[in-house]
């Protein structure tokens, strides 16, 4: 029977397991989720020229881009501790939010939308880079125990077939964070821009055109 020469800490964690705890990773993603929620609660109000307002978009884009810039820089430098990414993301989010507050008065609505979309796109790569850079590496003298080989199973008699049981599977919609039976994952959310009021409602009640940005942040399946 093979034994492991690694420390007790190495025995508790399998090779390749990330040192950044899932709860810490979810905390890192919460910064992006907070900015997304803040942006989605501020619908873009159209004027007579159909130009959307920049209110809130510059701040949300600054929070996302500030946190992601710091996280990507730390990952490129090979920073290992998971807490360093959390602290860096928080500092970057605060700095980016302050910069976005002063910047959004000097940019066009189109530029603000492009910056916000860039922050949404970079959220997943930044998180993956942080997890990869802080992944646990086993020591060189680590020896993994091998499980005993399974005993051979008697072959089924000719003409017989194994029973099949129908299975049902639920499809989790694409979102930034997915939780599936205790396992979590990150992905690219399905971003959509929809009208708040239908054309019939606008004509009937004389409402102005308003749009809202919908970003699935969390999808859970139990």
Q: What is the pLDDT of residue 173?
A: 61
Q: Is the pLDDT of residue 202 over 80?
A: yes
Cα–Cα distances (Å) from 135 to 69, 74, 144, in that order, read: 20, 14, 18
Q: What is the pLDDT of residue 70?
A: 92
Query: The sheet that has 44-45: what strands, in order across it?
Result: 44-45, 210-214, 192-195
127-184 per-position pLDDT tens digit: 888 888 877 777 777 767 677 776 776 665 665 566 676 665 556 567 777 777 777 7
Domain ranges for the chain: 20-145+167-221
User: What percent of the chain is modeled with pLDDT above 70?
Assistant: 62
11-37 per-position pLDDT tens digit: 444 444 444 445 555 555 665 565 555
Q: What is the pLDDT of residue 7?
A: 44
Q: Is the pLDDT of residue 91 over 90?
A: yes
The SS3 of residue 198 is coil
Q: Is the pLDDT of residue 203 over 60?
A: yes
Residue 191 zone, left/alpha/beta (φ > 0; ψ -120 to 50; rest)? beta
Q: What is the pLDDT of residue 167?
A: 64
Q: What is the pLDDT of residue 13?
A: 45
Specify the residue for token string 């884009």. 61
The DSSP string of 47-111 is -TT-PPP-TTHHHHHHHHHHHHHHHHHHHHTT---HHHHHHHHHHHHHHHHHHHHHHTTSS-HHH
Section 80-91 average pLDDT: 88
> Whole-number mean pLDDT of the chain?
73
DSSP percent split of the chain into helix, strand, coil, nearest 5: 45, 10, 45
Q: Is the pLDDT of residue 3 over 50?
A: no
- Between 32 and 103, name the one with better pLDDT: 103
Section 43-60 average pLDDT: 60
Give 45's pLDDT tier (boundaries 50, 70, 90).
very low
Q: What is the pLDDT of residue 95?
A: 92
- Quote the tokens at residue 148: 């005993």
Length of the chain measured in residues: 222
Section 67-89 average pLDDT: 89
Would you give the DSSP letter of residue 135?
B
Q: What is the pLDDT of residue 135?
A: 77
* pLDDT-wise least confident of 30-34, 58-62, 117-121: 30-34
Cα–Cα distances (Å) from 203 to 2, 29, 49, 87, 209, in that order, read: 77, 41, 18, 50, 10
């Amino acid at each position: 029977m093979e034994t492991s020469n690694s420390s007790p800490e190495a025995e508790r964690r399998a090779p390749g397991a990330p040192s950044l705890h899932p709860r810490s990773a979810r905390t890192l993603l919460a910064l992006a989720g907070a900015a997304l929620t803040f942006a989605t609660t501020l619908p873009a109000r159209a004027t007579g020229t159909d130009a959307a307002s920049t209110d809130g978009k510059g701040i949300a884009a600054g929070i996302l881009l500030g946190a992601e810039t710091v996280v990507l820089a730390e990952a490129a430098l090979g920073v290992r501790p998971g807490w360093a990414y959390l602290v860096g993301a928080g500092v970057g989010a605060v700095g980016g939010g302050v910069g976005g507050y002063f910047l959004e008065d000097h940019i066009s609505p189109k530029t603000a939308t492009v910056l916000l979309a860039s922050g949404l796109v970079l959220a997943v790569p930044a998180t993956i880079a942080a997890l990869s850079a802080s992944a646990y590496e086993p020591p060189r003298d680590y020896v993994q125990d091998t499980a005993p080989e399974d005993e051979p199973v008697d072959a089924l008699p000719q003409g017989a077939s194994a029973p099949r049981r129908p299975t049902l599977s639920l499809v989790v919609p694409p979102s930034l964070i997915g939780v599936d039976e205790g396992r979590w994952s990150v992905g690219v959310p399905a971003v959509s821009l929809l009208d708040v009021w239908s054309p019939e409602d606008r004509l009937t009640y004389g409402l102005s055109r308003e749009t809202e940005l919908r970003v699935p942040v969390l999808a859970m399946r139990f």
